[in-house]
Amino acid sequence: KAGVTQTPRYLIKTRGQQVTLSCSPISGHRSVSWYQQTPGQGLQFLFEYFSETQRNKGNFPGRFSGRQFSNSRSEMNVSTLELGDSALYLCASSLGFLAGGRQETQYFGPGTRLLVL
């Protein structure tokens, strides 16, 4: 089974621009979560989607948004980029079906490294 894929792998943008990152989950997985990884803040949860609906959201400004399509692929968008948005953005997928769901394993993609100049 193919793993989680993320595109693009590397991206360079300038302040004020917007960016869209893409994530394709493992086949059969319906939950997609997004994380931001920076040296200063570590790994932080952005949001989680299941069946095209956002179920949970982390503590990030409204400039960060996402969506999920009917085939479970997900995109996240960052508008009005700031220097502090430079990070590794990781996507993870899981089945999403288990009651409660907290014990499910999340499988991570390789990430998209975003550099904002």
Partner 1 sequence: AQSVTQLGSHVSVSEGALVLLRCNYSSSVPPYLFWYVQYPNQGLQLLLKYTTGATLVKGINGFEAEFKKSETSFHLTKPSAHMSDAAEYFCAVNHLRGALNFGKGTSLLVTP
- Per CB under 8 A, contacts with partner 1 among 7-26 are none
- Per CB under 8 A, contacts with partner 1 among 39-78 are 42-45, 48, 50, 55-56, 58
Q: Cα separations (Å) of 50 from 31, 41, 54, 117?
A: 4, 26, 6, 33
Nearest-angstrom CA–CA distance, 93 and 20:
18
Closest CB 16 distance from partner 1, rounded Å:
28
Closest CB 22 distance from partner 1, rounded Å:
15
Q: List the structure tokens of 48.
A: 């989680």
90 near partner 1, judged by CB under 8 A = yes
Alpha carbon dihedral 69, 62, 5, 88, in 10-degree steps, equals: 180
Binding site for partner 1 (CB under 8 A): 4, 31, 33, 35, 42-45, 48, 50, 55-56, 58, 90, 92, 94, 96, 100-111
